[in-house]
Every structure is written in C-alpha cells, then in structure tokens.
Structure 1
C-alpha cells in the first residue's frame, strides 16, 4: 500500500497541510524544553541552600569537633576561596559572621554570615569578594569593622589587645596610613614597650580617629585635645625624632 504524504495526512484530518510541519514542531518543542531546562538550572545555581552551605562547612571540620572550623580548616578555607589569611577581606567575612575568635568559625556563625551573603559554595563566595572589600569604602562600615576587630583579635583571657597583635592588625586595616610605621616603631621602643604592653579599647578607637584627622606633618594635632596619653607621647617622640634628623642633616 502506498505511503501517504504529510500533506495528504494533514488534509485528511483537517489540519493545514504544511510540508515538514511535524518535524518543525518537534524541533521547536525540543528547543523550548532545552531553554526551560537551562533556566531551571540557572535558578537552582542562584538559589541559596542552607543544607548545601552546612555540607560545605563540614568540609573544614573534624570528627572530634564537627561544629567548629579551626585553624587547619581555616587555612584550607582560605586556599579554596583564593584569599590570603591576612587579607582584610577575611576580616570582613568574619565581621559578617559575627565570629568571636580569630582562627575559628562556629557552625552558627558560618550559617549566619553566609545566609546573609546567600553563599553556599566556594564559587559564590568568590563572586562576592570584591563586594565585601568595597564595603570598607563606607567610613561607617569601616569604623564598625575596625572596632569589631579589637574583640575578634584579642586573647579572650585578656581584657585588652596585646601590642604586637595591635600593630599587625593596623597593618591589615590601615596599610596606607602614613604614620602607621612610625607608631609601630614608637610602640616597640624600650620605654614605650614597657608602658604599653597592651592597647586598651579607648586607645584602639582613638588611633582610627587620629589617622583620619591628623596629617603626616602633625599640623592638625591639637595638644589640648582629648587624645589618650599614648598618642600624646607618640607625637612628642615623633617630633623630637624629626627635629634630630633635620639637625643632623
């Protein structure tokens, strides 16, 4: 029996007889299905999964301490996201998590911070690194991160921040501050080192204010201002050092 053409079959059923219509419809359906599948996949990639985020956290913990990401896990975490542990963006990540101790993230802190950032994978967090660093351009956010870093970095058995840690932290937070190297040198000198073994909270907060208001030449320094004695002594020492160098040249 002879085969019917597509035109003949279409006419017999009342359809419009367009040559190849069945094949075209099939291709359009396949294309539509593929597009829908891609959209669905993209939506899945962009959505946040707490379960996936928690599974990611577990990659950095141990059997003995499943709810704490410790120093070894932190090192691997930094390697995975491609960030040096001393990069300021790590401090911003810790700030977002509300982490209480340097070198450690608890499961609760991890979920809090990464839920806010909507990150449940290495790739997603990497995509947010520039954004996190840009937050520091806002002086109010920077001030909050700066103040947060004091409690985050201090030894929890001490009420104050040891001076060596304070100097290192200033290098992370204020790397471009012109007077930072001089302040670090002052704090390491024999006399000052004995008097200032630790930096208290008031001194720490005032260092930021000092860096924002006092110029490199100390022209805007007000001796009658309410600066901590430590900064008064620093200015006195620095002026004497500069005068001595100028006299010897």
Structure 2
C-alpha cells in the first residue's frame, strides 16, 4: 500500500515538473513573440507618416531604397499581396504586422533575405493566379471603381507578367497603345488575358477560337496580330 502511494506521488511530481517546463516554454515563446512584434512595429513607424499613421507612397519609396529594390519591382507587389494590403501605395500597421510575421522578418535585413522565398511562393501557379487577380484590385483607387485606364494597365501588365510571357505582353501592350476602342480595362478582360497567355500558343495562335467565351478585346487583339503576320 505504501509503495503504491509512493509511486503515485512520484507520478504527480513528474507531471508537475513537465507542466512547469511547458509553462516556461510557453512563457519564453510569448516573450519572444512580443519582442518580435515590438521590432516589427518599430520598423513600421520608421517609415510611417506621423499624421496619418500609415506608410504612404513616400514611405514605400524609402522602404524600397533601404531594401535596394525599385518601387516598380514586382516583388513590392508580392509584398503587398502577402500583407493583404487594400489600398495601393499605403500599408496599415495591421497589414504590415500580418506580412512581416508571415515572412518572419522584423528587420530590413531579414525582409531583404525573405524576398527570394516570397517570390518562389508566389510563382506557384495557384498563388500566381491569386497575385494576378489581386494586382488589378489593388490598383483600383476608388471604392466603386470597376476598371483601370489603358496606360496604367500597360505598366501593370509589364510588371506582373512581363518576365513570364514577354512576347504576349509586349504585343498586347503595343495593341492597347494603338487601338481606339478601349480607354479602360475591366477585371473580366484582365483575367481573360491571363488565361490567353496560359492556354494559347503565341504567336501562331492556332488554338484560339473566337467562338469560345473570350472577351471581345482579345478577339480584336488576335485579329490585329494575324493582320500584322500577313
């Protein structure tokens, strides 16, 4: 009977030790997380506008300079995507925290080092499709805005798709600049061009069938390309 009681006490002591150790680990983890958040917040305020409490276009330019990345680099768009930033040219503190915690970056040095891995993540097909769609929404400057002017679309296409589909993008941008039928591009047309790049061989265009559900602007673009090829 005494042995059983002694064994029970031993088990109880062991459980208490394990529980205490777990509490210490949790406490250390919580403190480390708190310190990381403090550093992330401090970094945010080093770029934020004091009056608005946001990182604005000027702050983003300073951030790009410190990261040694051009502000038109697609990786800046990828960073905004990672933060789930809602307004072009602006980062809120919550968006900044969300992005940098996901990237495990609480200094500029760590943020620079995180960019290659972020690019790899985004280049996965499902993520890239999401980024492409996000890029259009991110560039809408007004709440009820549904389309983007052609000039801005040309720049955006070059940034987002230019390195992946250079021939298609260069040709489509050229077409957009010479045509007179479209002053703005909507989301359906924007996503249609992405599908076009992924499904249609270029410049032979053999798979393109105008009877399928393509936006009219792409029918016109294909017709323009074929005319040029004659």
Give the 5 Å matches for 1:94-113.
94-113=80-99
Instruction: Determine if contact 1:88/1:133 at 8 Å carries over to the other structure.
Output: no
Task: Give the distance between the partners of 2:114 and 2:48, measured in 1 at CA.
Answer: 23
Partner deviation per Cα, 1:92-142 (whole Å, 9 max, x = no partner) = 100010111221111111111112222111011111111011123311110
Is the Cα contact below 8 Å between 1:48 and 1:115 reproduced in 2?
Answer: no
Matched, 1:213 2:199: yes
Per-residue deviation, 1:203? 0.5
Length, aligned pairs only: 196
Alpha-carbon shift at residue 46 of structure 1 (Å): 10
Note the aligned Cα RMSD (angstroms). 1.9
Structure 1: give runs of 5+ residues left out of the alignment: 1-43, 244-249
Residue 199 in structure 1 maps to residue 188 in structure 2: no
Partner of 1:188: 177
Distance 2:75 2:35 in 1: 22
Counting only pairs closer than 5 Å after superposition, residues 1-249 of structure 1 correspond to structure 2 as 49-65=36-52, 67-156=53-142, 158-176=145-163, 177=165, 178-189=167-178, 192-193=179-180, 195-216=181-202, 217-243=204-230
Report Cα offsets for 1:203-249 as digits up to 9, x if no partner: 11111000011111111211221100000000011111211xxxxxx
Query: Is the 1:56–1:121 contact (alpha carbons within 8 Å) kept by the matching residues of 2?
Result: yes
Equivalent-residue separation in structure 2 for 1:215 and 1:98 (angstroms): 33
Q: Distance in 2 between matches of 1:239 and 1:150?
A: 28
With structure 1 as the length reference, what TM-score do the two structures score? 0.74
Question: How does the TM-score come out when normalised to structure 2?
Answer: 0.80
> Any stretches of 5+ residues in structure 2 without a counterpart?
1-30
Deviation >3 Å, runs of 4+:
44-48
Measured at CA, do residues 213 and 77 of structure 1 come closer, stay the same or move farther in structure 2, by a change above 3 Å? Answer: same
